Structure 1
Amino acid sequence: MAAIGVHFGYTCACVAVFKDGRAEVVANDAGDRVTPVVVAYRDTEQVVGIAAKHGRVRNAANTVVKVKQVLGRSFKDPEVQKHKAESKCPLMNKGEQPVYEMTGEISRHVAPQDIAKLILHKMKETAQSALGADVTDAVITVPFEFAHAQKVALREAAEAAGFRVLRLIHEPAAALLAYGIGQDCPSGKSHVLVYKLGGTSLSVTVLQVNGGMFRVLNTHTDHSIGGESFTVALAQHLAAEFKRSFKQDVSCNARAMLKLMNSADMAKHSLSTLGSANCFVDSLHDGMDFDCNVSRARFELLCASLFNKSVQPIKTLLETTGLTACDINQVVLCGGSSRIPRLQQMIKDLFADVELLSSAPPDEVIAVGAAMEAGLLVGREIDPSPESVTVEACASDILLKEVDESGADVFSVLLPSGTPLPARRHHILSGPGHLPTLCLELYQKSTQRPERLAKIVLKDLETKEDGNHDIDAVVTMKRDGSLHVSCVGSTGKTEAISIPAAS
């Protein structure tokens, strides 16, 4: 029985299939092994992938890119507002939720989940075309910092696309699975650093592998840099070269800059394997064609500051984790932009005696790991030994909200991120004896502000004139990420709530 692994990124998506004991990435109908996460709406059809990306020059107002930035977020979320400012496709507020406004013969609003559904359906079609049969079982990857609501939105989009989602797994864990890290080592502790430079973000994660178990020690994500940052730097250089040659400034011409971005993106990919790349744009401005050759040395000079910014988080993360480069046993590279030779060399210089794993294409390795997990879940075991089990861990800090004497909100960490699951925590909730009601609130730490997961209100408490209420709260998180919270008052009355897992 076959299964699918899908990596749904900010700029590209990749699908791998697990069949006959092997996980392999499959190419789409255009022959590409990765598919741009771009959807274009036309009057009679929706176009997904490379055709939508190339057509963006003429149809930018109806073309959605980077939908993952807004998926599962409210309209007021700072990330959504940032996306709105950058998007050529108008983003509107509908019931406090973001929707895209498509124009044409018929104007319509499209939710981010519907965009994600089209992309995931494309991934499903790609896998089924390679297998020659219908298949629905899938494991889908998510960033480690994804909040509960974002996971729910992605799962719903995948199910609407026809998938039976076996599990959502974190991208760093998928990268380790792809290389079999921890699967063939029944004992012994090691540290692995997963470096991912995708299209719009950089994430660095340090994991401890002990007897086949993964534990996240620390992680850092930076949304201010990604592969697109390198593309922009190269496109700006091309615009400057055009101005020097033709005395025309196209830097304020949105359509011309989109053309240069497309050309710069292709050149950037070529420079990962070649010493130089040719950038040609047909009719860039006022009917003038533009042709420019860029060497790898010139590209590295243009992006010198970006390279430094890309490796700095590694040093910072190691310091905050209390580790040195010598404590890292392996470094795994993933994300398409980690192919860049200069970047790989800088990482090698940081870890002189450490194995740098980059044999698998970095933009495919996460999808391969997801497919291997899918194969395990549908019963095709890669290694039947009990040591090859991956233990789930708490993805982000679970916080408890209380109020101090001044009335200010105080958050304390109840379950730190990386806590092996299942986990159980006790907490005594205290309050003045004259209060008839006490409230317990649980939150999940996200990139901007804590997201509330649950609220339990204990009512009709007995008045205590000379003492405090002491409520025994028990919080349990299962392996699948679901939470169960119960509170027992002094009268024996119990209030309980369960929060289903997003993955």
Structure 2
Amino acid sequence: MVDHFVQQFGIKEDKDISSNARALRKLRTACEKAKRVLSTVSKTTIEIDSLYDGVDFCSAISRDEFDEINSDLFEMCMETIEDCLEEAKIDKGMIDDIIPVGGSTRIPKIQQQLQEFFNGKELYKSINPDETVAHGATIQAAILTGGKEVLRDKVNHGLKVHDVTPLSLGLETAGGDISVLIPRNSPIPTKKEHIFTTNSNDQTSISIQLRACESGCFLGKYDLIDLPFCSRGIPKVHVSFSINIDGILSVEAFDMTRGNKRDIHCKEISSCGGGLSKEEIEKLMHELEKYEVDDEENLKRMEAKNSLEDYAYRVRELARNARVAGKLYFTEKRKIERSVEQAIDWLDNEQVQFAKASEFEEKLLELKQVCDPLVQKS
């Protein structure tokens, strides 16, 4: 949508705003609001005061136009669903319910394509798309802790939520071959076992490297030592991979040719190639505690910023409303518009990213002191 309106502005005003960060930010905000409006109406208008070089911008867009300029993105959504079904090795006819996740699933075209893809099956809309992930996390927490109340709820009855491994996990053996032990999308907790052997005569040790198969990422390695002097292929090394409910991978190995009398020494997975040492983990934990305070401050800052932005745009719309504006003197209407524009310009300034929550709250208070008496009068 942003690209579309950048072109529209260029055609109307013969000005290129594609490299102007402030103008693009204003346009992106307006497009986001228009996208939401088009989920409920067939046509809307984008209006931006002083978009670029003091030039106002106004342009209409219909739902059909919105669908057309975003058609490639909508098709990508369907391709993702096809990939998910293929990886899960299930047919779309086996799907019981389709649960939309995320605000963009409110777009009528996406809903239409979903229903067509699943042969006209109705979407499950009893759960707010913005809350679906949190709802699933709640069910998973109830399953893990043995909670009864959440699972007895008629909406949740019969639902099961599984964590899965995002990548296949395996071992790199002689010759650079990778043997997959835990396939991608395996539900966790899980445990897989495999038997390995030596590649040459009188080989007394095996070095096996752990890999995340799709990415090729090196996770670490372990060495099995003190193997008996035997011809190749005779020693049997039992290797097991297990992932617990917290997603932590454990690897164990022992020499089967000596029975249970002696376990093969298995070195701790090294921190080479991406693993973390105990000291590094402790350092990260300390940093996490430190940043928790910053996270709270950022949350307060965002809430204050959103409050100011919502109030400013709401009051501007009220002032423009014919019924309300008719009850205001021209000077009063201009006073509201001027105050609101000052607040919006301040929000659009690049330096606002460094502003604190108290500054947003102060700006909101100043704006309310000007606008509230006049709006209440109307």
Q: TM-score, normalised by structure 2?
A: 0.60
Match of 2:209 in 1: 441
Match of 1:381 in 2: 149
TM-fit CA distance, 1:344:
0.5
**AA at the equivalent of 1:455:** K
Match of 1:472 in 2: 238
Change (3 A) 1:384 1:312: closer
Residues 425-434 or 238-247, more deviating: 425-434
TM-fit CA distance, 1:438:
0.9
TM-fit CA distance, 1:366:
1.2
Q: Write the deviation string for residues 423-462 of structure 1: whole angstroms up to 9, x where unpaired.
A: 333222222233332122333345xx13344422122434
- RMSD between aligned residues: 3.3
Name the SS for the 1:332 alignment partner.
Answer: coil
Matched, 1:495 2:265: yes
Change (3 A) 1:399 1:466: closer
Match of 1:276 in 2: 43
Structure 2: give runs of 5+ residues left out of the alignment. Answer: 270-274, 276-280, 282-378
The aligned runs of 1:28-107 (5 Å cut-off) are: none
**AA at the equivalent of 2:113:** M
Instruction: Name which of 94, 111, 117 aligns with 1:344.
Output: 111
Structure 1 contact 397–414 (Cα < 8 Å) conserved: no
Determine the C-alpha separation between the residues in 2 that align with 1:314 and 1:391.
18
**AA at the equivalent of 1:476:** S
Determine the C-alpha separation between the residues in 2 that align with 1:391 and 1:269.
30
Residues 416-425 or 346-355, more deviating: 416-425
Match of 1:458 in 2: 224
Change (3 A) 1:335 1:241: same
**AA at the equivalent of 1:342:** K
Determine the C-alpha separation between the residues in 2 that align with 1:497 and 1:277.
65
Name the SS for the 1:364 alignment partner.
Answer: helix
Matched, 1:413 2:180: yes
**AA at the equivalent of 1:311:** M
TM-fit CA distance, 1:342:
1.0
Name the SS for the 1:284 alignment partner.
Answer: strand
Structure 2 contact 242–251 (Cα < 8 Å) conserved: yes
The aligned runs of 1:387-398 (5 Å cut-off) are: 390=160, 392=162, 394-398=164-168
Determine the C-alpha separation between the residues in 2 that align with 1:419 and 1:469.
30
Instruction: Pick the structure with greater CA Rg.
Output: 2
Structure 1 contact 329–354 (Cα < 8 Å) conserved: no
**AA at the equivalent of 1:383:** L
Matched, 1:401 2:176: no
Change (3 A) 1:434 1:417: same
Q: Write the deviation string for residues 331-352 of structure 1: whole angstroms up to 9, x where unpaired.
A: 1111221110011111111223
TM-fit CA distance, 1:487:
1.3
Match of 2:130 in 1: 363
TM-fit CA distance, 1:497:
6.9
Structure 2 contact 170–213 (Cα < 8 Å) conserved: no
Change (3 A) 1:393 1:267: closer
TM-fit CA distance, 1:298:
1.7
Determine the C-alpha separation between the residues in 2 that align with 1:389 and 1:236.
42
The aligned runs of 1:72-221 (5 Å cut-off) are: none
Match of 1:483 in 2: 249
Where is the helix percentage greater, Structure 1 or Structure 2?
2
Change (3 A) 1:464 1:352: closer
Match of 1:22 in 2: none
Structure 1: give runs of 5+ residues left out of the alignment. Answer: 1-233
Instruction: Name which of 31, 52, 69 aligns with 1:285.
Output: 52
Name the SS for the 2:194 alignment partner.
Answer: strand
Determine the C-alpha separation between the residues in 1 that align with 2:130 and 2:72.
23
Structure 2 contact 181–192 (Cα < 8 Å) conserved: yes
Q: Write the deviation string for residues 389-439 of structure 1: whole angstroms up to 9, x where unpaired.
A: 8474542344322334xx3x1112212234344433322222223333212
Name the SS for the 2:150 alignment partner.
Answer: coil
Change (3 A) 1:314 1:454: same
The aligned runs of 1:321-336 (5 Å cut-off) are: 323-336=90-103
Change (3 A) 1:484 1:244: closer
Q: TM-score, normalised by structure 1?
A: 0.46
Name the SS for the 1:331 alignment partner.
Answer: coil
Does 1 or 2 have the higher relative contact order (CA < 8 Å, sep 6+)? Answer: 1
Determine the C-alpha separation between the residues in 1 that align with 2:185 and 2:26.
43
Q: Write the deviation string for residues 299-356 of structure 1: whole angstroms up to 9, x where unpaired.
A: 1122223222322333454456554443322211112211100111111112234231
Structure 2 contact 202–229 (Cα < 8 Å) conserved: yes
Determine the C-alpha separation between the residues in 2 that align with 1:357 and 1:466.
58
Structure 2 contact 171–209 (Cα < 8 Å) conserved: yes
Structure 1 contact 271–296 (Cα < 8 Å) conserved: yes
Change (3 A) 1:389 1:320: closer
Determine the C-alpha separation between the residues in 2 that align with 1:330 and 1:428.
41
Determine the C-alpha separation between the residues in 2 that align with 1:317 and 1:394.
13
Change (3 A) 1:320 1:426: closer
Determine the C-alpha separation between the residues in 2 that align with 1:253 and 1:396.
39
Structure 1 contact 398–442 (Cα < 8 Å) conserved: no
Determine the C-alpha separation between the residues in 1 that align with 2:187 and 2:86.
23
Structure 1 contact 484–497 (Cα < 8 Å) conserved: no
**AA at the equivalent of 2:73:** L
